[in-house]
Chains A and B, each alone.
Chain A
Amino acid sequence: MNMVEKILARASGRKAVTPGEVVVANVDCLLLHDLSGYLTAKVFEEQVKRPMRYPERVVMIFDHHFSPPNEEQAVLLQQNRGFARRHGIHLFDCGNGNTHHVGVQNGFIRPGTVVVGSDSHTPIHGTLGCFATGLGNDSHAGTVMPFGKAWFRVPEAIQVRLTGRHKPGVTPRDVVQWLIGTIGEGGAIYKALEFTGPYIHELGVWDRWLFPMITVDVGAKCGYIEPDEKTIAFVRSLTDRPFDPVTGDRDSTYEAVWDWEISDLEPQVTCPPTVGYVKPIGAAAGAPIQWAELGGHGGGRIEDIRMAAQILRNRKVAPEVKFNLVPSSRAVFTQAIREGLVELLHEAGATWFPASTGSNQAINMGAMAADETMISTHARNFPGRNGSPEAKMYLASALTVAASAVKGCVADPREFLS
């Protein structure tokens, strides 16, 4: 059995499971954010009407808001706070960071566990050797909250083996975007993607993190990286709670093995209007932008902020561009201050925003007029997510975003790296 099969078997009290089977498994952690949390809470209290079985496993994080912009949203947050208090679940209010970063940094995510959440990027936690996937409100309200369980169809696994070394100016984010373009939107529906190979194993945990993040956009159920010493040390540094890591058997079977060598990759840009529209930088460079942003579920890491600083040291943001920086968590924000990056980037003309998901769904920021364009480290670029449906969003690495902010158009970061 592979890692996911072993975790699902253990969590459902079976010796073995096989792909295609439906199992009911114990859930170790449920991550909710402010929007989905509200919808889930309503179903739970209005339709399910049962006690919360394991409140300590449920975490709600306010990250789409950093501050309610109108009364409707204020009421939503107020009701979420009330829900959290009534049922004794964990609550992280606005300003603590985006749901996945806060979940990890507070030790809720441990190897070998089952993690679910209503954010579609929940598979990101496969980075730490979890079986992690996004479910809908009714699963959370109907079975996770009252019973600590959920049903799963055991997925077929595909192994994605990456080898090689990325060139200077190319980052793991570029590799990830290239993968989405190559596998294609919906190119791996229902599958479990195991990311492996020397390229993956050499990466630090926060860089590995970008790989399972993309699984939803290629349609997969989950993605994961088998835990190794780096994973264990990382999780140990965040929590004292015990955990029992799982790795796949030697004779694990995969529906397919996709082998890629990534050494030749150029920086990649995801172009409007969908996440599958990925091009090498040369094909997109020159498109004018008015907005640039580091932030979102995959961005705003300390690594991203460092990359932006690398580009912006002794340079300025182009006058026609607004470059917005959204740290992924309060801890990352304070770290960036300590490293002098907040000052450096502010002086270069960027603007800092509270730790959150930033422009994701444009609740506090990120609305654009028709024909305005943003380049960001966000995970999605569908039209209508950021103000006018005629606004455009490019997705790229922090290096490329920062280079574009300097140049006023989509730009190749290698121009700025000596």
Chain B
Amino acid sequence: MEIRGRCWKFGDNIPTDKIVRTDMIFKPWSEILKHVLESCNPEFPAKVKPGDIVVAGKHFGQSSGRAIAAKAMKQTKVGCIIAESFARTFYRNGFEIGMPLLECPGITAQVSDGDILRVEIESGKIVNEKTGGEFEAKPTPPFLLDMLKAGGLIAMADRLAGEG
């Protein structure tokens, strides 16, 4: 699974409230998408393109546990999110809805807004085409890669239930 796209860079500790504003939770996607991450980068909602790659700092997606923040990111059609680290519910929710996530400590110092990145999800290999830099993300547990391949949690729920 390889993804190539333009980089959007964000800071540390971004809460779910900034990904989807609390007063937007029950609005239609068309409405929510106009505001995704707008308080961090006002250009993002209008200019993000399918296949773009979001790079964030530490603890991305903290605060609320609701999956809507991960779902909103998926709705923007970004190819994947790379962060120094994720808040655990965001990480969990991401894979459960089929949104690829990679953890790569130190990544934010190596990329800039607009750089073209190439990412291989399974191996965790990240290439910055602009600078030529290559980085290794932490390996993703096979269980979560399986979930991603299945298309998310609900698609593999039966199999999971059999395991317990």
Known interface pairs A26-B164, A122-B65, A151-B143. Does A43 touch B154 (Cβ–Cβ under 8 Å)?
Answer: yes
- Indicate if A127 sits at the interface (CB-CB under 8 A): no
B residues less than 8 Å from A72 (CB atoms) = 26
The residue in A23, A26, A118 that gathers the most chain B C-beta atoms within 10 A of its C-beta is A118
> Any chain B CB within 8 A of the CB of A104?
no
Q: How far is the CA of A135 from the CA of B91 in the complex (A)?
A: 10
Within 8 A of A (CB), among B41-71: 58-59, 62-68, 70
Across the interface, do B153 and A24 meet the contact criterion of CB distance under 8 Å?
no
Q: Which of B23, B25, B96 contacts A138, CB < 8 Å?
A: B96
Q: Is A385 an interface residue (CB 8 A)?
A: yes
The answer to whether the Cβ of B89 comes within 8 Å of any Cβ in the partner chain is yes
CB distance from B121 to the nearest CB of A (A): 18
B109 at the interface (CB under 8 A from A): no
Chain B, residues 125-138, CB within 8 Å of chain A (1/0): the string is 00000000000000
Question: Closest chain B residue to A36 by CB distance?
Answer: B66
Q: Is the CB of A142 within 8 A of B87?
A: no
What's the Cα separation between A139 and B23 when bound, in Å?
24
Selected contact of B85 from candidates A189, A382, A384, CB within 8 Å: A189
Interface contact A120-B58, CB-CB below 8 Å: no
Task: Tell whether, in the assembled complex, residue B67 and residue A13 are in contact, meaning their CB atoms are under 8 Å apart.
Answer: no
CB of A136 within 8 A of CB of B65, answer: yes
Q: Is A223 an interface position by the 8 A CB rule?
A: no
**Cβ < 8 Å to B, chain A residues 116-163:** 118-120, 122, 134-139, 141-143, 146-147, 149, 151, 153
Query: Which residue from B15, B59, B86, B160 sits with its C-beta under 8 Å from A382?
Result: B15
The residue on A at minimum CB distance from B17 is A382
Complex CA gap A24/B92 in Å reads: 14
Q: Is the CB of A146 within 8 A of B157?
A: yes
Q: Fill in one digit per residue for A9-53: 1 if any B CB lies within 8 Å of its CB, else 0.
A: 000110000000011111000000001101100010001100000
Q: Which of A48, A136, A149, A189 contacts B92 (CB 8 A)?
A: A136
Select one of B13, B63, B96, B160 contacting A136, CB under 8 A: B96
Q: Write out the residue numbers on chain A whose beta carbons fall within 8 Å of the beta carbon of B86.
A: 189
Interface-centre pick from A135, A136, A141 (highest chain B CB count, 10 A) = A136
What would 29 A/B residue contacts be, using CB atoms closer than 8 Å?
A13-B164, A22-B143, A24-B163, A25-B164, A35-B66, A43-B154, A118-B66, A134-B89, A135-B89, A136-B66, A136-B96, A137-B66, A138-B93, A138-B96, A138-B153, A138-B154, A139-B96, A142-B153, A146-B157, A186-B59, A189-B85, A216-B62, A221-B88, A276-B13, A382-B18, A384-B17, A384-B18, A384-B39, A385-B17
Q: 13 additional contacts, CB 8 Å, given A149-B160, A186-B13, A219-B59?
A: A12-B164, A25-B164, A39-B67, A48-B154, A119-B65, A136-B70, A137-B66, A139-B96, A139-B153, A186-B85, A216-B89, A361-B22, A389-B39
